[in-house]
Chains A and B, each alone.
Chain A
Amino acid sequence: MSGNTPSSSRGVNAVINDERYRSIFYQVVVFGLFIWAVLSLIENTQINMATRKMAVGFDFLKNTAGFAVAWTPLDYKPSDSYLMVYWVGIINTLILAGISIVLATFLGFIVGILRLSKNWLVAQIASWYVEVLRNTPLLLQIIFWYLGAFANLPRPKQSIEILGFESLVLNNRGLYIPKPQPEDLFWLTALALLVAVLIAIVLNKRATRKQQQTGKYISTLVPTLLVVFGLPLVVFVLTGMPLDWEIPALKGFNYRGGGFVLPAMLAVMVALVIYHSAYAAEMVRAGILSVSKGQTEAASSLGLKQSFVMRLVIIPQAMRAIVPPMISLWMNVVKNSSLAIAIGFPDLVSVFMQTSLNQSGHAVEIVALVMAFYMTVSLTISACLNVYNKKIQLTER
């Protein structure tokens, strides 16, 4: 490759102008820059941590956390370790996000259908609901619900009894609900429920197969409901109703016993549900509108009943447009539940990234752990989404 002869310089030019070699060259340069950046960051961090006398490593997770967490379903004591705090945060985040996802999707479907209502007033109200909620920040809404509604609740002595139940009360310490206490044989009921669901699935599969083979439609709604609710109920009664309720009761200045939910959790949940329901509503509306009118007309001209047109033709096609954005909305609910920190609900970011980080000072490790959790959740969800997308792509022509 050396020398000034024309042939070899042409060879050099050929190498320089060849796209493959240039691409390798660029990649080597970029990779080198990346490695250099990462190494210098690590070096800087090590120097900085050494000068600040910060320890490195995940050993601190075994240390005693020493602070109380305001709300958790787990059995957590201040003497537990930081690792336990991590689990507490994860469970709290997942509970908050899980309930919010279910309710937001449900509410979103209702509002989305109302937006398409032929009734002008209803459609207008639904569309302003969506506009107002989507155009104000979620954090502001969370603070608004907390300060506007859930921080002004009465003291335990003047608790609000929801629907007149003495065991379902709301006060400034939270929402108190009866707590189920399963006894010895309760696992049989749970098992019965599992078996019932399996039976129901088999029933429905067989009905579908029969319809595909013979064209005869068999309604499975009633048998399914009977099996799913009936079987566990029978087992429950036969085993002697092994379920007790621990009922909250006013003792002294506060309610004791039963399950309870913090006002902050209620506030953040209401805010998450309402905010995301507006987005879900838009997805549902767009999904239904994406099915062309010809589909409705074609289905009607085949002689399908009106309810079948909706159930068998419109909704399956609309779902194809609704489900992918809906799943990324669920991902957003998980991520946005981290805003609970603003009003003091002990979610993962609040207990681990704020309190634990301030106490232990292990910034790098804690940030990595928290990010690892959120990344696991979103990568799992997007993997499910990819599977679903593949599945519905196959059904297309």
Chain B
Amino acid sequence: MTEITEQNKVSEKFVPKPSLPPPPNTTGAIGWLRYNLFDGFLSSCLTVLSLIAIGFMCVNFYEWAFAKAVLEAANRQECRITPTEFGTCWAGVKFWFTRFIYGRYTDTEIWRVNFAAIILILWMIPVWLPRVTAKLNIALSGVLIFPFLAGYMFLGGDRNWFMEIMVSVALGCFITVMIHSLLCLFTGAGISRWIIQLTGFSSRSERLHKFPVIMFAVIIFLLSLFLINDVAFKEMPNNLWGGLFLTLVISGIGIASALPAGILLALGRRSKMTVIRVLCVAFIELFRSVPLITILFMATTMFPLFLPEGFHINKLASAIVAVCLFAAAYMAEVVRGGLQAIPKGQYEAAEAVGLTYWQSMGFIVMPQALKYMIPNIVSNFMGLFKDTTLVSIIGLYDLLGMINAVSQDPSWIGLHHEPLFTAAVIFFIGCFAMSKYSQYLERNLGAGHGR
């Protein structure tokens, strides 16, 4: 009997029951809450505590930022909400906001700063557009040649022959970069190919192709020389520079000079030549082991003593030199880290193909090392951007210096918190964007999985 029933069972076709839905409290919003917020007694306690803390902070922040806000006032005394209590004086921030951004730069000349900023942005945008070719040249020209244009726009005054040439070269470069990027975007071919085609040189031999391009460059240079001939800006001495503008100028120059200087120092530190290695190690260790503020004090007190007679260096220039030295030493260590991540086989392979030292570094090692270094380089830049606030201690009016100055203005005396909050927000946005961008690069370049 039993055998027969078992055989019957086997011959029946097996139909699985449909699976039950998961218990309702493990899916959807409730499941998420259970798993992530109330997973056990300790977790629930932490959640409740965190909620209380968040609620407390939100209520206090709302009271401070909104409930007590005073939006219209002509001076600090008008910011009182009761005779004894000051409200949150956003009116003060509104009143001083231009100063926080541009320092004591004359109002009618502020457009020059904005104009230079827009030129820089336009100059750098093509680097991020996939269709544009010759990105390295665009980026290099932006870093090396743009500062002359920006320097003149910020400083104004008379131009000597050198500035005349450099400013027109910069303007010419800018025009070329713009035409080149637009051509690349819409036609897919770069500017040099267009020039060669339009001048009919495309049928000639390749050796002659450079002539129409050089001609074009000369024409553009003469054109921009002609363009700036009548332009003259009012002189704005650099003690008027200030605010976020000055912060960006100092950190921008620091960033732009740190990478090349850091690469050279790092290569020097790994060099086989003893003298060069010892000098590089000494420089790096000296500037990395002392605080930036001591370097800034050294710059303001000792640089004037170092110069030959008849030369003068102003405070801003010494601060910039100090920041550059500091940034170069830190960047050198970042680059060294990247160089160490490159396997020795790469160096040996480059040597075996017969490349010289600079060729093997430039074409084989650095391109790979830079990829590893990008996250660290960006966080280094971030640090430099934040550290630039230290120049306020030696008496420059950067963003933080402006805020200190405002709090001592007779009619706004004691206005601290609101400007500080504004500055914190500005710095946070800048640094947060940079750090997110570096994380994005890290993911995209796959450098995070390198080792």
Contact = CB atoms under 8 A, between A and B. Distances in A.
Contacts of A364: 302, 305
Contacts of A342: 392-393
Interface string B191-203: 0000000000000
Contacts of A144: 417, 420, 424
Interface residues of B, number: 54
A137 B276 CA distance: 35
B36 A137 contact: no
Contact of B36 (A44, A120, A331, A349): A120
Contact of B420 (A48, A117, A143): A143
Contacts of B423: 140
B223 interface: no
Contacts of A148: 416-417, 420
A143 B400 CA distance: 10
Contact of A136 (B50, B275, B305, B427): B427
Contacts of B274: 27
A49 B386 CA distance: 35
A378 B288 contact: yes
B431 A136 contact: yes
Interface SS of chain A: helix
B51 interface: yes
Interface stretch (A100-108, A237-245, A302-310, A332-340): A332-340
Contacts of A125: 50, 53-54
Contacts of B302: 45, 363-364, 367
Nearest to A48: B305
A26 B273 contact: yes
A135 B427 contact: yes
B212 interface: no
B291 interface: yes
B442 interface: no
Given A339-B390, A341-B393, A137 B37 contact: no
A125 B48 CA distance: 13
Contact of B291 (A26, A31, A349): A349
Interface in B385-414: 386-387, 389-390, 392-393, 400, 404
A367 B289 contact: no
Contacts of A45: 302, 305-306
Interface stretch (A59-67, A155-163, A369-377): A369-377
Nearest to B428: A135
A48 B43 contact: no
Interface in A297-335: 331, 335
Contacts of A387: none
Contacts of A23: 272-273
A172 to B, nearest CB: 15
Contact of B276 (A27, A120, A379): A27
Interface of A: 23, 26-27, 30-31, 34, 40-41, 44-45, 47-49, 51, 117-122, 125, 131-132, 134-140, 143-144, 147-148, 331, 335-336, 338-339, 341-342, 349, 353-354, 357, 363-364, 367, 370-371, 374-375, 377-379
For the complex of A and B, 7 pairs with smallest distance between CB atoms: A378-B289, A135-B431, A120-B36, A137-B386, A335-B291, A363-B301, A27-B275
15 contacts: A26-B276, A27-B273, A27-B276, A34-B279, A44-B309, A51-B309, A135-B432, A135-B435, A137-B400, A143-B404, A143-B416, A331-B289, A339-B390, A357-B297, A364-B302
